[in-house]
Structure 1
Amino acid sequence: MNEALKEINDTSHILKNEPTVDWLNVSQLMLKSRALDEIEEKLLVPEKLVFNQFSARGHDFAQILLGSLLTHPHDAATGYYRSRPFVMSLGISLDEVVAAPMAKEGGYSDGRDIGVVCNYPNVERNGAMLFPMCGGVGAQYSPISGWAQSILYHRDQLNDRRYSGAIAVSMGGDSSMSTSGFWAALNISTTNNLPHLFYIEDNGYGISVPQEVQTPGGDQVANLSAYKNLKIIDGDGTDPIRTPVLIKEAVDYVRSGQGACLLRLKVPRLCGHTFQDTQTYKTPDFIESEQARDPLPKLKNHLISMKLISASDWETLETDSYQNVLDAVEKAKKRNEPDVDKLTKFVYSEEGHVQLRGGLAASHHQFPSKSYQPSPEGARLNMLTAIRKTLDYELETNPKVVVFGEDVGPKGGVHGATLGLNSKFGDHRVFDTSLSEEGIIGRSVGMALSGLMPVPEIQFRKYAEPAAEQLTDTGIMRWRTNNQFAAPMVVRIPGGFARRGDPWHSMCDEVEWAHKVGWQLAMPSNAEDAVGLLRFALRDNNPTIFFEHRSLLDGAWSRRPYPGDEYVIPFGKAKTILTGTALTVVCWGAMVERCEKAAISLAMSIEVIDLRTIQPWDKEAVLNSVEKTGRCLIVHEDNKTAGFGAEIAATLSDELFFSLDAPIKRLTMPDIPNPHNISLLERAVPNEQSIAQAMQTLIEV
């Protein structure tokens, strides 16, 4: 390296009122970022080697300055599709940054995700970890609030002083402040005084939509001026003198433990939204004014004027950076294509392949002993009490378990499943949240990535809809990062009809979770199974939906003795409730009781199978039973069209067609929401009489 270039760093202290900045590193990263943008746009996109190109020109300078300050081993950040310079500043290798947009083998997704939607596990912990980015705008905010909360939890509840001074950073454009994710995170982090830095890059546009359409007066930050527990720092993101001061002020404020801070820097977007965007929505004069604000010439002129570098040395740095990127491009071209035979690997956790970051498994957490055999003790408990008792034991024996949701704290949950747990374990372990399902699940992601076991509650099944994006992103995290990240959690969701039904509190719709890639789904029918399945989920390395059917929580039939503190039921293992040779009935949840009673009333040698888990489901048990009986009836509460029964029926048709003595039948709810009138509900939901009639008809075919 030319001696003159090294002097950039040696003499940076002469700049008055400016933080110490590694100007050589900042310059190199900026020039490499610009070179990569140019090479992609002019060479790799036309050659169809890159298909999704998002330039960060104009945003790059401030991003790199921010990234250079995230040096704490427990710092973490979330970015978005225009955050590549920031990611480079964290220490990710140039080779990976160049190869990923070409969808080549290796890297942070092994060709599974868009190249700019990246991640950085930083297993060496020599600075910040970058959460897996999401394709959805605004989805980056609430997960990092969860990390911010976990910093305090690790420090104060787990007494790990290594977390002292760590911060959480979320990056986003100005228009992302309109999303529910932003507002959920803002409420979480300000209400709890969390060490969260909201970094907003304000270029004035959301693709083509100006800020005036996003918020009254066109200035989101001005409209937040009265927000409590939020320090706002506002300024120019292109000024080589002032910008470093603003960024350091924001980082120092959050590190000091004073709470959340919103840093808004105005920057020009010196490009279209993507390489295809011609920016016809901007006037030529406006585009010219943006180009005049380019931070790269400002940086160059500043360094030369301060005699930190000569013009010729800058040209050398520019040439070398461009060549470094060209060399990385050529190396990337020689990489192999991803192995197509590994396409389905890492949808779920795989034995011997623990993810790099996230969950209890990554930290080698040791659990108490377990047993696959129940040890019944005491009187019969209802399912609600069994769930509470299981949560109590796991909270007691695992300090990394945290339970939360709306009304989960002192009230004990609207159903009573957490009654008394807040007073026993305190507000940091069993607590209430704001009314935002997006925020509840998003915060769970950050907590899981920090190595905790979050147990969020969604109060009713229907209320999970606002959290759909976070749930989807959580499920696919392991696969799309090629097992670098995973966020195991247990989401407790009550649902289904109770004494009455209605369209808002009584939905099951379990098939949605079966179709959510990466999620497991448990639907216990009784208290004993609820204990075993819940305990298994709380110790497993995959995200799980634990469905608590409302009609079973205090139902007499579903009561069982507590099976012991060691009892677990592995997922994917069905239970045969009744044995028989004339007909196989497959059911789960609230339909198990009704199917058992109907079969007993008929006394026609009917085999009843309780699947217990829908994802995974015990295909082998069902196939073996139908092979024996030759007939199958599938009963479920969910709607008929595309319900999970259709998957079972299709599997039987594919694999046992010539063993069937009669058509496969399904008995379900019609394709309607749950009705509220009791007579309508009884007609809609399969009951003992309608099930018995369907059983008898199928046997007598």
Structure 2
Amino acid sequence: MNKVTLETPKATSLIDIPINLDWLHIAELMLASRALDTIEEQELVPAKLVFNQFSARGHDFAQIILGSLLTHPHDAATGYYRSRPFVMSLGIDLDDVVASPMATAGGYSDGRDIGVVCNYPNPNRTGAMLFPMCGGVGAQYSPIAGWAQSIVYHRDQLKDSHYNGAIAVSMGGDSSMSTSGFWAALNISTTHNLPHLFYIEDNGYGISVPQTEQTPGGDQVANLKAYKNLHIIEGDGTDPEQTPALIKEAVNYVRSAKGACLLRLKVPRLCGHTFQDTQTYKSPEFIADEMARDPLPKLQAFMLQQKLITAAAWQALETASVNKIQASVARAKARQQPEPGKLTRFVYAEQGQTQLRGGLAADNHRFPAQSSTPNPTGARLNMLTAIRKTLDYELETNPKVIVFGEDVGPKGGVHGATLGLHEKFGRHRVFDTSLSEEGIIGRSVGMALSGLMPVPEIQFRKYAEPAAEQLTDTGIMRWRTNNQFAAPMVVRIPGGFARRGDPWHSMSDEVEWAHKVGWQLAMPSNAEDAVGLLRFALRDNNPTIFFEHRFLLDHSWARRPYPGDEFVIPFGQAKRLTCGDKLTVVCWGAMVERCESAAKQLDIGIEVIDLRTLQPWDKEAVLSSVDKTARCLIVHEDNKTAGFGAEIAATLSEELFFSLDAPIQRLTMPDIPSPHNIHLLENALPSEQRIAQAMQNLIAV
């Protein structure tokens, strides 16, 4: 008796769509959300049991309607810090919703993340999945665009009819439309006509900044009306009759595979940005107008008018909601604190502990045979050809591998690593993207969460910086969701000096990725290692940065015979190039050839170790060698200060201090960008001669 069919109001120009909603359930959710906000503000925040409190009063009604319509098993959504009523409408456990802001054990992060930063894996596919929310404004947009693209890929390329009608929804406030993430996602989804619903809650403010400071004229949606392939719907987000009709129209539009839709609903923010925000930047008249637009009294009046509930039953429902939340708060207070002994778990994938959502492992994907023993055949290949050949084989044998980036399609990449792959595998598997690194990595997140293996390319190392937020959020995803989500991918990044250097195309700075939580980092020095490391990364359950050194791509020393389609090199296994007992030299990337050549030329007992991967790095191999030689020289291209050599030196000092016969030495680039003039570059880089001299000096100490 609590369901009612509404006709679209005649005052609007909306499509006439019947709407069946369980109004009693909607009221229950809304009252529970309000009760939780009140109890947090009046009890839990003052008691310092909750530290980050974001009320959704005013936003709540429309959010709950939207969540009630996301019933497809392959629907997915991204929210933000004010999306809690929406999350509740998806079916998340109420006790977890209450307890997570209190940072107790369990919940959706086990105390690792801010409580309002929710996630909902919904592993039984009973409706929409909620991506792990991000703390950064606008970071939610491009990942869900990747999910929208994956819907089309699963449906059309993998021929999975279960994806028919699925949609991707991104939630955001009006001010989030100013971010690069919003524009990246808008370009992705409109260019490809993807099933993406941009759901915008317009309360007129970004914290304290009004819309007039965000966009010309103070109306971003009006400025988007000329945007191609974007259907725009807008209206009131507080009216019990109009709001459901608007939301239903938008959802139906996207489900019908017509393309992207932006739904902007005007809603009041009946609170400060956070509980601590006094809103002194709003006039009393403005606040009074907001209060008059509160959707809760409107909902109550509507349900009474439609005879969906009596006044007494409404009062009983309010009381029951408060009691329900208070009981949940009591249970939350009784929960244990997170166990400190588990604090470092799930930075990386653990054997037998596969994440609930994301990556090939979560879908039990099976790979062809592999071996750590090379089976070299044919002529020596340069590293560029070896990378291309490996990508070719993995694309051929795994339909879930997708390669993309700027110029990787018909052009074959600015370095030629993907030459011919677009023609062979088609535009849905090897394709170009817009010039947006934020969008390239962001869409990779959504693809990975859908069970694909994205292989995005960042054209040069320096250009990864616009994607820094997405890269960071990807790396910490497994840890901050307590292994509920992970987004394995392989990000190919060429970098380092080539025939010339410069500050823009020749940056190395690999230490940043070694420091990024959750990322693996491979830096092959030759074609054989490139094959083994890349194949391992493409089959692994962790996100990986695969650094392709520009100087080595066609360098004669780096050429090797192709080691076979089964060859893999597990990460964290260094390679010893020369043996000796007088000095250990640790190096990687383009410095390996120079160190090996200098050691062979001197022939005085020098052991050269190529780390091959920096995260993880083979600490045991280095410690064993230095324990034998009692001396260590570390050579790398990156700047000296806080370069990865400092990590190795610190480890040796901590664990082998009394075994050392000489100070640990580092030979690196000075703390400058890569210079363009060839003579300046040669002077900045560790040359073979300088390496040889450093070896001799250290042995002589």
Work out the CA distance in 2 between the residues paired with 1:409 and 1:109: 39
Work out the CA distance in 2 between the residues paired with 1:592 and 1:622: 15
Checking the alignment, whether the CA contact within 8 Å between 2:359 and 2:450 is kept in structure 1 is yes
Work out the CA distance in 2 between the residues paired with 1:544 and 1:388: 17
2:157 aligns with 157
Work out the CA distance in 2 between the residues paired with 1:66 and 1:13: 16
| Within-5 A mapping of 1:225-264 | 225-264=225-264
Work out the CA distance in 1 between the residues paired with 2:6 and 2:32: 25
1:65 aligns with 65
1:297 aligns with 297
2:314 aligns with 314
Report the Cα offset of residue 15 of structure 1.
8.8
2:664 aligns with 664
**1:527 and 2:527 correspond:** yes
| Within-5 A mapping of 1:332-347 | 332-347=332-347
**1:50 and 2:50 correspond:** yes
User: Would the alpha carbon gap of residues 616 and 308 (structure 1) be closer, same or farther in structure 2, given more than 3 Å must change?
Assistant: same
Work out the CA distance in 1 between the residues paired with 2:305 and 2:154: 47
1:444 aligns with 444
1:365 aligns with 365
| Within-5 A mapping of 1:116-515 | 116-515=116-515
1:132 partner SS: coil
Paired amino acid for 2:177: M
Checking the alignment, whether the CA contact within 8 Å between 2:7 and 2:19 is kept in structure 1 is no
Describe the superposition over 1:269-306 as per-residue Cα deviations: whole angstroms up to 9, x where unpaired. Answer: 00000000000000111111100000000000111122
Report the Cα offset of residue 79 of structure 1.
0.2
2:431 partner SS: strand
Paired amino acid for 2:66: L
2:565 aligns with 565
Report the Cα offset of residue 8 of structure 1.
2.6
Work out the CA distance in 2 between the residues paired with 1:669 and 1:447: 38
| Within-5 A mapping of 1:540-579 | 540-579=540-579
**1:597 and 2:591 correspond:** no
Work out the CA distance in 1 between the residues paired with 2:477 and 2:396: 29
**For structure 1, which segment, 11-20 or 584-593, has the greater mean C-alpha deviation from structure 2 after superposition?**
11-20
Paired amino acid for 1:342: K
Paired amino acid for 2:2: I
Work out the CA distance in 2 between the residues paired with 1:204 and 1:228: 25
**For structure 1, which segment, 383-392 or 596-605, has the greater mean C-alpha deviation from structure 2 after superposition?**
596-605
Report the Cα offset of residue 21 of structure 1.
1.4
Q: Which runs of 5+ in 2 are unaligned?
A: 10-15
Work out the CA distance in 2 between the residues paired with 1:426 and 1:212: 45
Report the Cα offset of residue 12 of structure 1.
4.8
Report the Cα offset of residue 544 of structure 1.
0.1
Paired amino acid for 2:39: I
Report the Cα offset of residue 602 of structure 1.
1.1
Checking the alignment, whether the CA contact within 8 Å between 2:80 and 2:117 is kept in structure 1 is yes
Runs of 4+ displaced beyond 4 Å: 11-18
Checking the alignment, whether the CA contact within 8 Å between 2:58 and 2:269 is kept in structure 1 is yes
2:114 partner SS: coil
Describe the superposition over 1:161-205 as per-residue Cα deviations: whole angstroms up to 9, x where unpaired. Answer: 000000000000000000000000000000000000000000000
1:97 aligns with 97
Checking the alignment, whether the CA contact within 8 Å between 1:12 and 1:308 is kept in structure 2 is no
Describe the superposition over 1:331-372 as per-residue Cα deviations: whole angstroms up to 9, x where unpaired. Answer: 111110000000000000000100000000000000000001
Report the Cα offset of residue 603 of structure 1.
1.2
Describe the superposition over 1:480-519 as per-residue Cα deviations: whole angstroms up to 9, x where unpaired. Answer: 0000000000000000000000000000100000000000
Paired amino acid for 1:623: L
Work out the CA distance in 2 between the residues paired with 1:177 and 1:686: 46
Report the Cα offset of residue 414 of structure 1.
0.2
Describe the superposition over 1:27-47 as per-residue Cα deviations: whole angstroms up to 9, x where unpaired. Answer: 000000000000000000111
Paired amino acid for 2:286: F
TM-score (ref. length: structure 1): 0.98
2:693 aligns with 693
2:12 aligns with none
User: Would the alpha carbon gap of residues 569 and 15 (structure 1) be closer, same or farther in structure 2, given more than 3 Å must change?
Assistant: closer
Describe the superposition over 1:111-136 as per-residue Cα deviations: whole angstroms up to 9, x where unpaired. Answer: 00000101000011010000000000
CA RMSD of aligned residues (A): 0.8
2:199 partner SS: strand
Checking the alignment, whether the CA contact within 8 Å between 2:576 and 2:609 is kept in structure 1 is yes
1:109 aligns with 109
Paired amino acid for 1:425: F
Work out the CA distance in 1 between the residues paired with 2:262 and 2:137: 18
1:517 aligns with 517
Work out the CA distance in 2 between the residues paired with 1:630 and 1:13: 81
Q: Which runs of 5+ in 1 are unaligned?
A: 1-6
Paired amino acid for 1:93: D
Checking the alignment, whether the CA contact within 8 Å between 1:514 and 1:521 is kept in structure 2 is yes
**1:87 and 2:87 correspond:** yes
Work out the CA distance in 2 between the residues paired with 1:555 and 1:13: 70
Paired amino acid for 2:219: D
Work out the CA distance in 1 between the residues paired with 2:113 and 2:573: 33
Paired amino acid for 1:241: E
1:3 aligns with none
Checking the alignment, whether the CA contact within 8 Å between 2:401 and 2:429 is kept in structure 1 is yes
1:268 partner SS: coil
Checking the alignment, whether the CA contact within 8 Å between 2:587 and 2:634 is kept in structure 1 is yes
Report the Cα offset of residue 438 of structure 1.
0.2
Checking the alignment, whether the CA contact within 8 Å between 1:12 and 1:23 is kept in structure 2 is no
Checking the alignment, whether the CA contact within 8 Å between 1:388 and 1:417 is kept in structure 2 is yes
Checking the alignment, whether the CA contact within 8 Å between 1:111 and 1:338 is kept in structure 2 is yes
Work out the CA distance in 2 between the residues paired with 1:55 and 1:219: 24
Checking the alignment, whether the CA contact within 8 Å between 1:584 and 1:629 is kept in structure 2 is yes
Describe the superposition over 1:565-585 as per-residue Cα deviations: whole angstroms up to 9, x where unpaired. Answer: 000000000000000011000
**1:8 and 2:2 correspond:** yes
Work out the CA distance in 2 between the residues paired with 1:659 and 1:535: 38
Checking the alignment, whether the CA contact within 8 Å between 2:138 and 2:181 is kept in structure 1 is yes
TM-score (ref. length: structure 2): 0.98
**For structure 1, which segment, 311-320 or 617-626, has the greater mean C-alpha deviation from structure 2 after superposition?**
311-320
Checking the alignment, whether the CA contact within 8 Å between 1:233 and 1:250 is kept in structure 2 is yes
